[in-house]
Amino acid sequence: MAMTRSADERARTQTRIRWELLANLVRKDLKVKYQGSVLGFLWSLANPLLLLVVYTFVFQLVLRSGIPQFGFFLLSGLLVWNAFSGAVGAACGAVVGNAGLVKKVRFPLAVLPLTPVGFTGVHFGLQLAVLLLVMLGTGYTHFLGPQLLLVLPALAVTLLFTVALCFLVSALNVRYRDTQHIVEVALMAGFWLNPIVYSVALVSDHLHGAVYLLYYVNPMAGIATTMQRALYAQDPVLPTGHRVLADPGYLFYLERLGIAAVVSGLLLLLGVRVYRRLSADFAEEL
Amino acid sequence: MSDVAIRAERVTKRFVMHGQRPTSLKERLVRRRGSEDGWFNALTEVSLSIDSGHTVGLIGPNGSGKSTLLKVLAGILRPTSGRVEANGRIASLLELGAGFNGELSGRDNVYLNASLLGLSRRETDRLFDSIVDFSELAEFIDNPVKHYSSGMYAKLGFAVAVHVDPDILLIDEVLAVGDEAFARKCLAKISEFQEQGRTILFVSHALDQVEQICDRGVVLNHGKAVYDGDPEFAVGTLRKIFGTDQPKEPDEEVPDEGISFDQILVSAVPGGPAVSSFTAGEPLAVRVETTLSGRWARAVRGMQVVAMGVGDIPIWLMETPPHAQPAGPGRWAVDFVLDAPPLLGRFVLGVQLVGDGGQPLAHTRTTTAFALAGGQRGGLLRVPYSVRRQLPSEASGS
């Protein structure tokens, strides 16, 4: 009979199965999205490609930011932002969209907000790989160097931050359905407030000292500038006299990522607690 | 192995009716709290304790709270008050094909569904062929599920659920889908589970299935457990609820504290240990103990005991002879002694105290049934008969 395994073993099995379940749900989302389409997965490259063309037109030609090889600068920050905002946006609907499941099956509810993280994560991986290949292919070798390693802590903090917000918004949206709309607007604002399509130098010009430090309480600011340091990796001088990157060194970014990590960690604690408390009543609120 | 597998202790579940519930932050801030929120109790102080290895049927009219109770036991809903305790892995079949996605093939859905229900990929690999066999859908297994008929859908869902290897199985009316051949297959699988000692709690409207499969029946009505005991009697209770629009008669009715029914004991000899099953001809004794105040001791003229079969059909009556009234206030006990009649079935006892002219003063009934078995076949009553064979020469015309 089923009771032959020890309680410990059963607990371990349950945790392993939970990760498997998450992988299965991500796989399902991917299959459902791309099954039957001719180009399949390659469609996921269309979005960043389109943004690249449009933003290059606007910021290089029309507004003349003066950033050389603007495309690579843009994509350094844009890819990670898209991953983050895509996941958080989708997480709003993660629980309400699976209402049938939640009301009828007992399963570890924590996998629901994590599924969009996996889903956008897969896309991000593909896009990053393509970006690196294109950089190599076009002879853009600035990114080859020790600063590339900064990508690792940057992505770790992105994951932490994304997961924290996914737990929060997915749980809140069940009870307050306009969370979705608030998130949409906030993400839109966030895109512009973060130095993704422009250099952070334009901001640091106006903020000094402690206030400039506060700017990095927003984890994305630290993440975007770090990704630019790691991938774009060059620090030319703009026509206005500013430098493109936030800082030419490494420590600056590690410090900012440290702040981002603390903020994200606290948000994660909050997010998990909120999710745990609200998830007990999901089945009847949906 | 009689440890408790799953238990609900005084579970109450209250649902707030969402008519005017604020569903956005704006509404929450603008409206005042708590106005116009109706609520109702889907379950009220329901206590249910199921030992492992037992099969319990949960029946009741629509809206009586059966599905809610199942969801609370499964851990999907949180009780408003009370506790739920479970020992062992629970699989709940509240809906077949939970998590099925129409775009994916049957095969993909099996893996997804199995994963949701708690199986690892490796286990699903191992069980896959058995699952497909059970569902009888081998030739369609790689087609997208949106092309399946509803019967096929149900078959696949049940096939997966049945392979989950739970200790406790909670089933909500899902046995009703599929044709009879499939229903038989499902019942066979449930029998297998019972033999393996698993615990099953199932909700069904198919009352004959409940009588057939379960060893205990619980009736819910308006969120309260109104009967918990023998499955045949549970079905009978439910049928009475359906048949009459009035609220169910209380089991016991006494006019005031002057009459109390202390004990009704069914045994082999008066005062002996309780016996719950008898063979025809064996000695059977019924002892009824009551306590009467002075006024009632004077008013009571006699006691009647009726043995009732399923549906409370009276089968035989025993009563005290005339002039056998209680002597005075206090304890009044009466023993009825008989040989177990040649009947087959399960019976409960109804006891009534009557006054002048047979007027009923108080009544009660037992909830535990006792069984009679005469060793006969093919009928409720064993009637002595003789057989005489006609010799060929006696037959008029061959």
**What is chain B's mean pLDDT, rounded?**
84
pLDDT over threshold 50, residue B238: yes
| Average pLDDT for A185-204 | 93
Contact A2 B121 (CB under 8 A): no
pLDDT at B92: 78
Kindly report which listed range (A9-23, A168-182, B273-287) carries the lowest average pLDDT score: A9-23
The single-letter code of the amino acid at B107 is: R
pLDDT over threshold 80, residue B25: no
pLDDT at B283: 93
Q: What is the ipTM of this complex?
A: 0.81
- pLDDT higher for B117 or A86? A86
CA-based torsion, B124, B130, B135, B136: positive or negative: positive
- Test mutation, B25, B27, B122, B160, chain A, max A CBs within 10 A: B25
pLDDT over threshold 80, residue B247: no
Three-state secondary structure string covering chain A: CHHHCCHHHHHHHHHHHHHHHHHHHHHHHHHHHHCCCCCHHHHHHHHHHHHHHHHHHHHHHHCCCCCCCHHHHHHHHHHHHHHHHHHHHHHHCCCHHHHHHHHHCCCCCCHHHHHHHHHHHHHHHHHHHHHHHHHHHCCCCCCCCHHHHHHHHHHHHHHHHHHHHHHHHHHHHHHCCCHHHHHHHHHHHHHHHCCCCCCCHHHHCCCCHHHHHHHCCCHHHHHHHHHHHHHHCCCCECCCCCECCCCCCCHHHHHHHHHHHHHHHHHHHHHHHHHHHHHCCHHHHC
| Average pLDDT for B205-212 | 84
| Average pLDDT for B34-51 | 81
Kindly report which listed range (A84-93, A143-152, B30-39, B364-373) carries the lowest average pLDDT score: B30-39
- Test mutation, B76, B169, B195, chain A, max A CBs within 10 A: B76
CA distance B4 to chain A (A): 14
Domain ranges of chain B: 1-89+166-248, 95-164, 259-373
Name every chain B residue with its beta carbon within 8 A of the beta carbon of A2: 88-89, 165-167
Residue A263 falls inside a structural domain: yes
Are A275 and A110 a contacting pair, CB within 8 Å? yes
Residue in chain A closest to B75 (alpha carbons) equals A106
Measured between CB atoms, does A104 come within 8 Å of chain B?
Answer: yes
Measured between CB atoms, does A276 come within 8 Å of chain B?
Answer: no
Rounded Cα distance between B266 and B277, Å, is: 9
Residue A196 falls inside a structural domain: yes
pLDDT at A3: 41
Residue pairs between chains A and B whose CB atoms are closer than 8 Å = 89
- pLDDT higher for B244 or A70? A70
CA distance A157 to chain B (A): 29
- Between A1, A16, A32, which is nearest B103 by CB? A32
Beta pairing class for B370-373 and B277-279: parallel
pLDDT tens digits, A59-69: 888 888 889 88
- Reading the block at residue B32, the tokens are 């005042």
pLDDT over threshold 70, residue A219: yes
Rounded Cα distance between A244 and A227, Å, is: 13
Percentage of residues in chain A with pLDDT exceeding 90? Answer: 58
pLDDT at B21: 54
pLDDT at A274: 94
- pLDDT higher for B269 or A36? B269
Kindly report which listed range (A219-223, A238-242, B248-252) carries the lowest average pLDDT score: B248-252
Contact A31 B111 (CB under 8 A): no
Identify the CATH assignment for B259-373 out of 1.10.3720.10, 2.60.40.2550, 3.90.930.60, 3.30.1130.10: 2.60.40.2550
Name every chain B residue with its beta carbon within 8 A of the beta carbon of A103: 76
- pLDDT higher for B91 or A159? A159
| Average pLDDT for A216-230 | 95
CB atoms within 10 A of CB B72: 24
Name every chain B residue with its beta carbon within 8 A of the beta carbon of A106: 74-76, 90, 92
Contact B24 A177 (CB under 8 A): yes
**What is chain A's mean pLDDT, rounded?**
89
pLDDT tens digits, B331-389: 999 999 999 988 888 888 999 999 888 888 999 988 778 888 866 677 778 888 888 88
B34 band by pLDDT with thresholds 50, 70 and 90: low
Name every chain B residue with its beta carbon within 8 A of the beta carbon of A104: 76, 94-95, 98
CA distances from A211 to A249, B179, B259 (A): 21, 72, 85
Contact A178 B24 (CB under 8 A): yes
pLDDT at A81: 97
Q: Which residues of chain B approach chain A closer than 8 Å at the C-beta?
A: 15, 23-26, 28, 71, 74-78, 88-90, 92, 94-95, 98-99, 101, 103-104, 108, 111-112, 115-121, 165-167, 196-198
Residue in chain A closest to B71 (alpha carbons) equals A104
- Between B25, B94, B111, which is nearest A24 by CB? B111
pLDDT over threshold 80, residue B18: no
* Domain that residue A69 falls in: 41-285
| Average pLDDT for A206-231 | 91
pLDDT tens digits, B115-159: 888 888 999 999 999 999 988 889 999 999 889 887 888 788 888
pLDDT at B396: 53
| Average pLDDT for B317-343 | 90
Structural domains of chain A, count:
1
pLDDT at A87: 97
B1-89+166-248: in CATH 3.40.50.970: no
Chain position carrying tokens 């599920």: B145
| CATH code, residues B95-164 | 1.10.8
B276 band by pLDDT with thresholds 50, 70 and 90: confident
- pLDDT higher for A175 or B150? A175
Kindly report which listed range (A146-150, A223-227, B89-93, B152-156) carries the lowest average pLDDT score: B89-93
B398 band by pLDDT with thresholds 50, 70 and 90: very low
pLDDT over threshold 50, residue B207: yes
Can you spell out the DSSP letters for B252-287? -B-SSTTEEEEEEEEESSTTS-B--EEETTSEEEEE
- pLDDT higher for B274 or B381? B274
A12 band by pLDDT with thresholds 50, 70 and 90: low
Chain position carrying tokens 């599924």: A115
A229 band by pLDDT with thresholds 50, 70 and 90: very high
pLDDT at B267: 93
